[in-house]
Amino acid sequence: MQIDVRPTTAPRPRPTGPLGFGTHFTDHVFHMDYVDGKGWNDARIEPYGPISLDPAASVLHYAQVVFEGMKAFKGADGAIRLFRPDAHAARLARSCQKLRIATVEPAHAVEAISRVVAQDADWVPDASTGGALYIRPFVYATEAFLGVRPAKAYTFSIILCPVGAYYERGFAPVRIWVEREKVRAVKGGVGDAKTAGNYAASLSAAADAKARGYDQVLWTDAHEHERIEEVGTMNLFVAFDDEIVTPPLEGTILGGITRDSVITLLKDRGENIVERNVTLTEVRQAQASGRLREVFGTGTAAVVSPVGVLGFEDGDLTVGDGKPGRLAVELHDELTAIQRGDRPDPHGWLRTV
Ligand SMILES: *Cc1c(COP(=O)(O)O)cnc(C)c1O
């Protein structure tokens, strides 16, 4: 792929103090345009800055936009490694297809990601900080047209943000509100695509949960509100005494790449990991009978996030002793060590930039 590189002549100020998440952006951005009949064209890396969009651009009206979230890590050896870029590029293509957006070839997406990360390599936080470079590829409809149909013009962009260690104040369990009224996705909808509308639709329940003193929402199925689906930006795992369960990919939840990686690591350990539906009743009964070992979420941002409390209308269910479970701690440490290049990578998940 031909990529035109126009390096910045005015480097952006480097962040001082804590990086946080998603507030600082690097010097460069990748863009590539699409128009029906011509295909993808004009791949370029240019200085980071505002874009111009026609006020009638269909993304602003009908939300034809999909995105990815992935990371690059700097190892103690100084090398920069992308974690599972092929899996992220393949998911981006699936999300595009679902929203009738012009598909970005996975090989082109991976190349564009590698090139823009290489351009801003000196923005990747050092291994010693525990930070990483968060990568946000996204594809959006730019055609100026108010009719309702798939647009004929799109842009694929990639922005990068250095982020701090997720657990700056220790590996803390989260408090999760079990949502049994509002719904994130239904079968036949777009719950399994990484698309902006799913997030817009989640904000009200998330804000209510915050107001009640919880960190995030656990979505349940749209019909009985009994089966566990996923948490805001994470997939969920429930460890019983004899099996570890995570809900199956049946169209309403996002197939997390961290979820897939954790399933693989659990299989490597010889654990009994099962993809099946799990109900709230089952979790509450397991808690009552002492069969509930731990609950944790998985996602690119936190990697593995222990759940300390599940909040119900009739009170809180404290998981175990409310402290991070052994599996969550071990899986978090194992996966982050692989990502940093501190452990072997038997599944070929890393790609050096
Ligand atoms: C991105 C996302 C996840 C986590 O996916 P990863 O690939 O593990 O980062 C889970 N749920 C939703 C709704 C998401 O958008």
Q: Which residue has the tokens 């990483």?
A: 132
Are the beta carbons of 234 and 302 closer than 8 angstroms? yes
Q: Could you tell me if the CB of 65 is within 6 A of ligand 1? A: no
Q: What is the enclosing helix (H) or strand (E) of 293?
A: strand 292-299
pLDDT tens-digit series, residues 28-40: 999 999 999 999 9
Q: Which two tokens stand for residue 117?
A: 């990360």
Beta partners for residue 159, in sequence order? 136
Q: What is the enclosing helix (H) or strand (E) of 239?
A: strand 234-240
* Gap between the Cα atoms of 206 and 229, Å rounded: 15
Ordered by start, the domain boundaries in the chain are: 4-165, 174-339
What's the confidence (pLDDT) of residue 165?
85
Q: Which two tokens stand for residue 266?
A: 């659990």
Architecture of domain 174-339: Alpha-Beta Barrel (3.20)
**Nearest residue CA, atom 2 of ligand 1?**
233
- Global pTM exceeds 0.95: yes
pLDDT tens-digit series, residues 303-321: 999 999 999 999 999 998 8
pLDDT tens-digit series, residues 318-353: 998 889 999 999 999 999 999 999 999 999 999 999
CATH topology (fold) of 4-165: D-amino Acid Aminotransferase; Chain A, domain 1 (3.30.470)
**Nearest residue CA, atom 1 of ligand 1?**
233
Run means of pLDDT, 10 residues per run, the chain, 353 residues: 96 90 96 98 98 97 98 96 98 98 98 98 94 98 97 98 83 93 95 97 96 96 97 96 97 98 98 98 96 97 95 95 94 96 97 97
Q: Supply the DSSP symbol for 148.
A: S
Q: Could you tell me if the CB of 256 is within 6 A of ligand 1? A: yes
Which of ligand 1's atoms lies nearest the C-alpha of 260?
8
Burial state string for 133-156 with b = 16 or more CB within 10 A and e = fewer than 16: bbbebbbbbbbebeeeeebebbbb
**Could you give the 3-state DSSP secondary structure of residue 309?**
strand
Which of ligand 1's atoms lies nearest the C-alpha of 257?
7
What's the confidence (pLDDT) of residue 171?
83
